[in-house]
Homo-oligomer: A and B are copies of this chain.
Amino acid sequence: MTGWEEIRDEVLRRIRARLWVPGATIPTEEALAQEWGVARATVNRALRELAGEGVLERRRKVGTRVTLHPVRKATLDIPVTRREIEARGQRYGYRLLAQAEAEPPPAVALRLGLPPGGRLLRLECLHFADGRPVLLEDRWLNPEVVPVLPDFHRISANEWLVAHVPWTTGDIAFSAANATAAEARLLDLAEGAALFIVERTTWESDCPVTWVRLAHAPGYRMHTLL
């Protein structure tokens, strides 16, 4: 029993074998380190990992216990649209439908924390897989953050932003919605088709960057890795 990964696996094994049941306190780091003949830091690393995944709960002085009400943590990878489509082995296509400066609807301004009346750059575009439209993008961009802009006919805002405004923070929400008549026409669907909606708000250190709504055509599945 050497190495924090082996120790992590052994802890998981004991939990699954009901040796340590949910809600119960497990032995201290010290005791486990002694039992397995490793340093306490090694046990700590393993237990910290499991606590991060939500399997264990740790509190100073109290000890480590197996989580009683497990909250499944699903980690999703959200790549740039082009790479996501290409990863499925399909040919990627892109078309800019509209680009204009305008006043955003109140809901968008609110989410970005902007005062009403400001003006943002609005982009509407379509993404294609093997020539078929699969994703409608509706984006509002704060021109103050990115004063020099590229030609969005050639590169998608999505892709340009991750390269030029890296490592922003944000907020993502998922939902479902019926396609409006306009959406159905653009995505070549029947009106009312169920769309998978991703809404994303992006910030760069307290400054709003962009809000975007991605409407995925039916057939789209988002999937956890593990």
Interface residues of A (CB under 8 A from B): 12, 15-16, 21-22, 55, 66, 69-80, 83, 162-163, 166-167, 169-178, 192-197, 204-205, 216, 218, 220-224, 226
**B78 and A163 within 8 A (CB):** no
- A143 to nearest B CB, angstroms? 19
A15 to B192, CA, bound (A): 43
- A38 to nearest B CB, angstroms? 16
**A222 and B173 within 8 A (CB):** yes
A79 to B192, CA, bound (A): 30
A178 to B194, CA, bound (A): 5
A75 to B75, CA, bound (A): 4
Q: Taking CB as reference atom, which chain B residue is nearest A54?
A: B77
Contacts of A195 in B (CB 8 A): 176, 194
A170 to B73, CA, bound (A): 11
**B16 and A74 within 8 A (CB):** no
A70 to B220, CA, bound (A): 21
Q: Taking CB as reference atom, which chain B residue is nearest A66?
A: B166
**A166 and B76 within 8 A (CB):** no
Question: Number of copies of this chain in the oligomer?
Answer: 2
11 A-B residue pairs with CB within 8 Å: A69-B83, A72-B172, A171-B223, A171-B224, A174-B221, A174-B222, A176-B176, A176-B196, A176-B197, A177-B194, A178-B194
A198 to B155, CA, bound (A): 33
Q: Kindly list the 8 A-B residue pairs having the minimum CB-CB distance in the complex, ordered from nearest.
A: A176-B176, A194-B194, A176-B196, A176-B194, A72-B78, A174-B222, A178-B194, A74-B76
Q: Taking CB as reference atom, which chain B residue is nearest A223?
A: B173
Contacts of A194 in B (CB 8 A): 176-178, 194-195
| Residue in B162, B174, B176 whose beta carbon sits within 8 Å of that of A70 in the complex | B162
**B75 and A16 within 8 A (CB):** no
A197 to B197, CA, bound (A): 12
Contacts of A12 in B (CB 8 A): 167
- A105 to nearest B CB, angstroms? 18
**B16 and A167 within 8 A (CB):** yes
Q: Taking CB as reference atom, which chain B residue is nearest A159?
A: B69
**B172 and A74 within 8 A (CB):** yes
In this complex, which of A22, A167, A175, A176 has the most chain B Cβ atoms within 10 angstroms of its Cβ? A176
